[in-house]
Structure 1
Amino acid sequence: MPNKIAQKNHDELFPNHVSTLKQTDPEFIEIFDNFAFDEVLQHSHLETKLRMKVTLAALIAMQCLHEYEAMVTAALNVGVTPVEIKEIVYQAVPYAGLGKVFDFLNGTNEVFRDRGIQVPVAPQSTTTPATRAEKGLTTVRQIVGDGVDKMMASAPANQKHYATFLADNCFGDYYTRTGLDQQTRELLTFAMLISMGGADPQVKGHIAANQNVGNSKQTLLDIITVLLPFIGYPRTLTAVSLVNDVLPDQEVKA
């Protein structure tokens, strides 16, 4: 049996839930729950709703549909709103791609229907086809600086469209949406990138972007900590290394 603290934290997410794995794999459940729902949480300061949001983002990036659907239920149980959950899924499209996100759109809708939540949820777009490029460029400058401007200025003619896409699609279509603030969107992007692996340059860029929007190094380390049980040690330790590269601790002089 998981210890009392782990059981309490698990019950907060899944009240009255009877796990079949407790019957088929009791030793594993004891090990995992004690670690993920007690020991790990002792080293993180994230409030529960934010922890659930970044966990959902990570599960999408890793293609863990069944665990994601379970965690959507848990997120709703602790007060994450349907709009916020849908925005997490939409935010994943420019980073994981629709090929990976499509099943999670349907999975989310299935959970919502089971909970009696009406879809579609309230619209959150703030741009139009006429304004998305301008608003996206303004937004990307606020979050990541002049990187897209430099890309537009220096890229060969047959590659400039990637910079345009970053401005009007990635930031103009998604980051300008309501439902989640920019700080949360950057944390979600960070969680997705470290979870999918193979995107170290982008991880570094979004570590700096997180700092630009006011998210601290400690918050990024807290996210890595709570995701460890789900993403494993290799990606966790890589993420810690990248955070330290971009945001080195200040040396304390004697």
Structure 2
Amino acid sequence: TDPDFQDILSRFIFGEVFYQGNLDDKQRELITLVVLAANQTLPQLKAHVGAALNVGLTPVEIKEAVYQCAPYIGFPKTLNAINEVNEVFKSKNIGLPIESQKQTVEDNRFEKGLATQVEIFGDVIKKMQESALANQKHMQEYLSAFCFGDFYTREGLDLKTRELLTLCIISTLGGCESQVKSHVIGNKNVGNDKETLITAITHCLPYMGFPRTLNALACVNEMIPENKIGCYGSSDESRIG
């Protein structure tokens, strides 16, 4: 019913954006899945689960990408997304539940999560733990045990992929520029270069719009400046999450 709009959409996403930069089809579909989950655009998410399978992503990789959203968009929205994934899997006779990728138990999830944080962000994490106010220390502990222990340590996706997806998720949410800046540095630390970050954020553009895309690009440019006199990055321990 809207051929003009569909023509613009198809040309921009699949004729321009999809061919910009250095990501492969699997990376692009993983990014699309998490952005659609963050946006709660569930009909489109359901369609892209099928597309993700078509380009060769495994059920485990798809599930892990959606699980990675939970610390940033919350459990209810993540469960909505999981439900859409499950519907597609059922229609394709993919057995549920998918094999577990869990790598922690209650006794070590904080320790392993903290180690992963340090691997991504450096020793600043330990300083944050030590300097946290008594009535807010639990938040730092939750970040280590829940966000990084329960999710980042899981198998199915490597650390570089999880950190790249996290950058896309929080860029999509908007209003998270402090965290975006920290995860720009986290991505750099795990081996995702500036070109990869620009490409990933560009791929998010058709799904989250120009304002949030430009805000995310500004964060990338601030934290990984071009080689120009007068440009520099900055850091703030409170942003890491």
Instruction: Give the aligned partner of residue 83 of structure 1.
Output: 60
C-alpha separation between the residues in 1 aligned to 2:132 and 2:70? 24
Pick from 9, 26, 33 the counterpart of residue 3 of structure 2. 26
**CA RMSD, aligned part only?**
1.1
C-alpha separation between the residues in 1 aligned to 2:94 and 2:217? 38
Matched AA of 1:75 = A
C-alpha separation between the residues in 2 aligned to 1:41 and 1:119? 31
Instruction: Give the aligned partner of residue 182 of structure 1.
Output: 159
Pick from 90, 101, 110 the counterpart of residue 78 of structure 2. 101
Number of residue pairs the alignment of both structures matches: 229
How far did residue 158 of structure 1 move?
0.7
Matched AA of 2:133 = P
Aligned-partner SS, 1:133: helix
Q: Is the 8 A contact 1:54 1:191 kept in 2?
A: yes
Q: Is the 8 A contact 1:44 1:226 kept in 2?
A: no
Instruction: Give the aligned partner of residue 139 of structure 1.
Output: 116
How far did residue 67 of structure 1 move?
0.6
Matched AA of 1:110 = E
Instruction: Give the aligned partner of residue 29 of structure 2.
Output: 52
Q: Which runs of 4+ in 1 moved over 4 A?
A: none
Please, which runs of 5 or more residues in structure 1 have no aligned partner? Answer: 1-23
Question: Given the alignment of the two structures, is residue 243 of structure 1 paired with residue 231 of structure 2, yes or no?
Answer: no
User: Identity of paired residues, percent?
Assistant: 48
Q: Is the 8 A contact 1:140 1:167 kept in 2?
A: yes
Q: Is the 8 A contact 1:91 1:185 kept in 2?
A: yes
Matched AA of 1:246 = M
Instruction: Give the aligned partner of residue 160 of structure 1.
Output: 137
Instruction: Give the aligned partner of residue 200 of structure 1.
Output: 177
How far did residue 251 of structure 1 move?
3.0
How far did residue 146 of structure 1 move?
2.6
**Structure 1 residues 148-169: Cα deviation after superposition (integer angstroms, max 9, x where no partner):** 3222211211100111111111
C-alpha separation between the residues in 2 aligned to 1:215 and 1:45? 11
C-alpha separation between the residues in 2 aligned to 1:49 and 1:150? 37
TM-score w.r.t. the length of structure 2 is 0.92
Q: Is the 8 A contact 1:151 1:160 kept in 2?
A: no
C-alpha separation between the residues in 1 aligned to 2:131 and 2:165? 29
Aligned-partner SS, 1:192: helix
Instruction: Give the aligned partner of residue 211 of structure 2.
Output: 234
C-alpha separation between the residues in 2 aligned to 1:25 and 1:150? 55
Q: Is the 8 A contact 1:194 1:235 kept in 2?
A: yes
Q: Is the 8 A contact 1:204 1:243 kept in 2?
A: yes
Q: Is the 8 A contact 1:124 1:179 kept in 2?
A: yes
Q: Is the 8 A contact 1:193 1:199 kept in 2?
A: yes
How far did residue 56 of structure 1 move?
0.5
How far did residue 248 of structure 1 move?
0.3
Aligned-partner SS, 2:228: coil
Give the number of the structure whose alpha-carbon radius of gyration is greater: 1
